[in-house]
Structure 1
Amino acid sequence: MTQVSSDRLKTALLLIAVAGLLCGLSVYFAGHAALAQVAWFVAVLPVLLALVIEIARSLRRGEVGLDIVAALSMSAALAFGEALAAAVVAVMYSGGTFLESFAEGRARREMHDLLSRVPRTATRHVRNALEEVPLADIQPGDRLLIRQGDVVPVDGTIASDVAYVETSALTGESLPARLLRGAEAMSGSTNAGEPFDLSATHLAEESTYAGIVRLVEEAQRSKAPMARLADRWSLGFLAVTVAIAFTAWWFTGDPIRAVAVLVVATPCPLILAVPVALVAGLSRAAQFGVLIKGAGPLETMARVRTLILDKTGTITDGRPKIVSIESCEGMSGDQVLLYAAALDQASKHPVAQAVVAAAKTQRLTLPVPSDVVEIPGEGVVGRVDGRNVIVGSYDFVMRRIGHPAKPRNELDAGSILVAISVDGELAGYLVMADPLREGARAMFTNLRRGGMTRIILATGDRAAVAERVTQGLGLDRIYAELTPDKKLQLVLDERTSAPVMMVGDGVNDAPALAAANVGVAMGARGAAASAEAADAILLIDRIDRLGIGIDIAKKSRRIAIESVIAGIGLSVAGMIAAAFGYLTPVQGALLQEVIDVAVILNALRALRIAVADPAMPEGT
């Protein structure tokens, strides 16, 4: 049965149960008691049949759940003429399953728009023309046009003089790579510069991106299904229920007392309170930009003790930023930035765009450049306010102004140097790097306090870069230069000792996200493959949202458990009263309704979970 068919069935069962209960009540109060019994009986049968089928499937999987108690109470009530009690139980049971289905369906709908990155077609050169073809039609040797912003569809070699590709989604390298003619380009990387030609060397199904997708599928198959919180209480509660019902029948000889016990024992506090609290938690998390794909991942998120994070685009921004400005004599730092940004307005290079963004953040008014010439992979030459300006790599600028390269202090790992000259004289430098995300340090501190026992960095970037970026964070381990399969193996190894959460944003993170107990993707700018493989997505481009999501998950689970304990305690008290003959089956069903309302109201507190969010005003 497909997921859509299952959702429709659960909705239909709830509607049938509610309609039958209301129809029977209206007929009963109209003076037709026998007809009311028929209406209730007919309403219960479809729910009971679906429940029996689900129990049989669970038993074949070796699982014993609370569904057995619900089936026993409905069957016993119908067998001994207590159809109204059975109808009430049917409404409560079908309502609980509908709530779980509703939560998962909402998460699937909100995921739809996030999965558009995967290339499905490519632009191919054919007899001095261009044609759009499906990926399956691409053959080794085909010449493809990769436009700016396009995802490279298959593995190949650069067939143009130079190309700039963003590979952070695959390798974790935060800065664009400059590839010359004949260099290899991996599928899944993104064109960060001018359009270039690619000569295909592999079929789409044999390329890097397809291999990662296969790893994702294998990881998902190896991932154990998440058990519902309610099912963990099922065996003990089932044993207590059967014991009390059998004892009441044995000592009194009255089967109605056993029916009353079963009706009161119907685990509606478990069936309803848990999904209500967790669905409320999902809604609360979504308010802070944390989309969690269902109640199961939310509950598991609350139990995670090991956190594994990617670097680029996860704990770092994934885009180069200016970390310092060095100016030469006669030139201020703002002037250096202004000249560099003014000229870089004419370039589409990611570093140039980062310089322009920094100038706009400083609210500098940028003049329009003229006579601009861009040398791919080197720099930009032009005029700004009538002055000759050169912006580019240190060696490029020094050669252009005819000065020998002066010795430079060694840069930190992962940093790049942009030089600027004005009218033939060196004006200064911009030092750029991919810095740690805002809020990351505070989040790690709070996670430690909240019980996270192990925090690990797993990146495809170089070890020196990873160590520099994470200095002072107090990580337990740093694993660098990892390929997707090695990240996957790391998650599998850590999963043997504790529940694991993996956080990443790139295509290379997708297999590890799929294998983790809970995978979390950076969805604002992350790859579709990682969003598809993950159990939760940070829709807002802030890593501190991860801490908020974990906090909401823990509080939602605690509220669910509180509701379950209170509900079970009241149900057991009602079962004992029914066993001594103080409650009839209908009275037991009404008492169970009161208990249900109480636990649901308590579970709804998850909608108002308080979290500390520096980006939102207090009281939100």
Structure 2
Amino acid sequence: MEHSAADRVKVFLIAAALGGLLGGLALYFSGRADLAATVWFVGVVPVLAALLVEILRSLWRGEVGLDIVAALSMSAALLFGETLAAAVVALMYAGGTFLESFAEGRARREMRALLERVPRTATRHRENGLEDVPLRDIRPGDRLLIRQGDVVPVDGTVESASAFLDTSALTGESLPSRAEVGGDAMSGSTNAGEAFDLVATRLAKDSTYAGIVRLVEEAQKSKAPMARLADRWSLGFLLVTIVIAFAAWWFTGDPIRAVAVLVVATPCPLILAVPVALVAGLSRAAHFGVLVKGAGPLEAMARTQTLILDKTGTLTEGRPQIVKIDSHDGTDPDEVLRLAAALDQATKHPIAQAIVTAALERGLSLSVPTHVTEAPGEGLTGQVEGKAIVVGGHGFVTGRVGKLAEEYPELAAGSVLVAVGIDGRMAGHLVMADPLRDGTRDMLARLRRQGVKRILLATGDRREVAERVTEGLGLDAVRSGLTPDQKVLLVLAEREHGPVMMVGDGVNDAPALAAADVGIAMGARGAAASAEAADVVLLVDRVDRLGPGIEIARGARRIALESVVAGIGLSVLGMIAAAFGYLTPVQGALLQEAIDVAVILNALRALRISPAET
């Protein structure tokens, strides 16, 4: 298991603080109080040094955080010989920072499996055969072999008779498109048909996919950093602490009272309760298939006001499905589907595979076809159970079995028509489309009840398709025909209404996901680029997981705030008691420990958040 240098430092600090505290206690109870004080001092020093470095970095960035209170309490305790109190504070601080980084490290490890789609090599023709070469070695004019299922590595032109390209990850168009010889093929699209040759027209670094990656990087850099929930309380709490500590020292002349105030004031309820509640929320969200890459994105989810949704693969299934079967000669519709699917077993075309899947889902028995002939991109002919079957585009089939007496009605935008001929007659048509996901309307209504005020569609698909799919959903706006940079501009424009959440699954969504306050990727079948750029990944292919995810995020944030208010309130009461001399520094540290236990137990309630079922 890999760990970053920062993670190793945090592990070392918590080990040093714990070792110093326990070692000092062992020496103290064995009668070596002088040596115990030295061990406590040694255990505190590395934590205090790391804390001071972090404070200087924060001040350089113009930020004032709770770290200053922790540094003051440790420094004052060491200065006036209260080493045990300093050791307790050091352990609590080191434990809090470790908890904050724990969830992010776990999320990074779980994300590695989602990043395998990005092409790193390509197959290039050479004089005596083929060779695999790194993308950086491809030059314009190189002839590449793009096998079935391969991601096109660079922009180029098709040199074979034709190619079928799935561009859904780039443009949002859910159905594959055909590119004739000499036609353009964009990097990042997937070969959905037979292998074809591609002549590179650009370097990999200048291609469409690389341009989208650069947009992601720029969007991430321009994204405003999110303040931690604890830090938003820091300045007020810091001022209260200094006022009470200074007043205690000023009016009594006893510096130990100020030390006691600072020790009680150590913001462990903020340092510990907030990350515990949010990490618990992360774990709870993962139980529902929502992988959140850290406490910051989880908190941002809880404050979302605007939701922007991609269409293909997000609102819709992202793959063609049969929505209607028309029979023209009295043949049972299931029989039309069964015979068409039996013949389609002989090809890997995505529409054919969708027909086979639909037949199997209906429990239909598929015979093995014989004498199959395929016209790439047009259709198939063959024998099934002794019958002559023709399946393909309407023109392909009518050219072999003749036209219907009446012209087939025009299809809705975004639909595909597959004709089926049986024994020389037009037997039926299969109407295919990329339908809306089940439960989408209920999901959107639930999100509005949870406080999402604006819901928009942002897609690269055609306007007529976008409007047909979203009809009746009550969206606040539909934006179609968008390029990746236009999606980023839409996200930025919507920020005037509050924090923005963007949901998508394609490469073209990645820049907008990076620019949004919360980017959510469909990780089950989505592009690796979108999963990498996003703050949240839906590990199951269900957009309705958004509801439980937001509900858990809001519940975890509410519990964190409850813990903060209760903990800080108790700390202020303890500070006042210490200022009047009722608590020594060590007693103050023990009181703070009791407060810590209480707020942590409360924060752990986030593990039991039960979102309403969708």
2:336 is equivalent to residue 336 of structure 1: yes
Distance 1:176 1:332 in 2: 29
1:181-580 correspondence runs (5 A): 181-403=181-403, 406-580=406-580
Letter in 1 for 2:509: D
Aligned-partner Cα distance in 1 for 2:347–2:605: 52
Preserved contact between residue 306 and residue 497 of structure 2 (Cα < 8 Å): no
CA distance in 2 between counterparts of 1:140 and 1:36 reads: 71
1:346 alignment partner AA: A
Shift of 1:491: 1.0
| Cα offsets for 1:294-324 (capped at 9, x unmatched) | 1111111111101111100111110000111
Deviations 1:524-562 (A, max 9, x none): 111111111111101100000112111111111001001
Tell me by how many angstroms 1:29 deviates.
0.3
Deviations 1:456-508 (A, max 9, x none): 10000000000111111110000000011111111111124411111111111
- Secondary structure of the 1:193 match is coil
Gaps of 5+ in 1: 615-620
Alignment of 1:95-244 (within 5 A): 95-244=95-244
Q: Which moves more between the two structures, 140-149 or 321-330?
A: 321-330
CA offsets per residue over residues 196-242 of structure 1, 9 Å max, x none? 11011111111111111111111111011111100000011011111
C-alpha deviation, 1:404, in angstroms = 6.2
Amino acid at match of 1:451: G
Matched AA of 1:54: E
- C-alpha distance in 2 between matches for 1:474 and 1:3: 47
Paired residues of 1:398 and 1:405 also in contact (CA < 8 A): no
Cα distance between partner residues in 1 of 2:403 and 2:11: 77
Counterpart of 1:144, as a letter, is L
Give the secondary structure class of the aligned counterpart of 2:4: helix
Query: How far apart in 2 are the matches of 1:442 and 1:559?
Result: 27
Cα distance in structure 1, aligned partners of 2:115 and 2:246 = 54
Q: Secondary structure at the match of 1:452?
A: coil
- SS in structure 1 opposite 2:560? helix
Superposition TM-score, scaled by structure 2 size: 0.99
Deviation at 1:405, TM superposition (A): 7.6
Whole-angstrom CA distance in 1 between matches of 2:270 and 2:222: 29
Contact 2:382 2:389 in 1 (8 A): yes
Contact 1:164 1:191 in 2 (8 A): yes
Note if 1:92 corresponds to 2:95. no
SS of structure 2 residue aligned to 1:73: helix
Question: 1:419 and 1:349 mapped to 2: Cα distance?
Answer: 15
Q: Which amino acid aligns with 1:248?
A: A
1:475 partner SS: coil
Contact 1:172 1:461 in 2 (8 A): yes
Q: For residue 5 of structure 2, what is the aligned residue in structure 1?
A: 5
Q: Please, what is the CA RMSD of the aligned residues?
A: 1.1
Deviations 1:115-169 (A, max 9, x none): 1111111001101400001111111111100001100001111100011000000
Give the length in aligned residue pairs.
Answer: 613
| Superposed displacement of residue 183, structure 1 | 0.6
CA shift for structure 1 position 3:
8.2
- SS of the counterpart of 1:272? helix
Q: Which position in structure 1 is the counterpart of 2:16?
A: 16
The separation in 2 between residues aligned to 1:566 and 1:405, in whole angstroms, is: 79
Identity level (%) = 72
Q: Cα distance, 1:612 vs. partner?
A: 2.4
CA contact (8 A) 1:395 1:405 kept: no
Q: Could you tell me whether the CA contact under 8 Å between 1:345 and 1:353 is conserved in 2?
A: yes
The CA distance in 2 between the partners of 1:143 and 1:129, in whole Å, is: 12
* Whole-angstrom distance in 1 between the partners of 2:29 and 2:3: 40
Distance 1:116 1:587 in 2: 55
Asked if structure 1 preserves the Cα contact closer than 8 Å seen for 2:402 and 2:426, the reply is: no
Structure 1 runs (4+) greater than 2 angstroms displaced: 402-406
Structure 2 match to 1:62: 62
Name the residue aligned to 2:592.
592
1:37–1:84 contact (8 Å) kept in structure 2: yes
* Contact residue 169 and residue 506 of structure 2 kept, 8 A: yes
- 3-state SS of the aligned residue for 1:323? strand
Partner of 1:618: none
Q: Distance in 2 between matches of 1:612 and 1:354?
A: 33
Letter in 1 for 2:98: F
Alignment correspondent of 1:604 = 604
TM-score, normalised with respect to structure 1? 0.98
Measure, in 2, the Cα distance between the counterparts of 1:287 and 1:369: 44
**Structure 2: how far apart are the matches of 1:539 and 1:128?**
44
Give 3-state SS (helix, strand or coil) of 2:382's partner: strand
Structure 2: distance between partners of 1:136 and 1:42: 52
Distance 2:493 2:402 in 1: 56
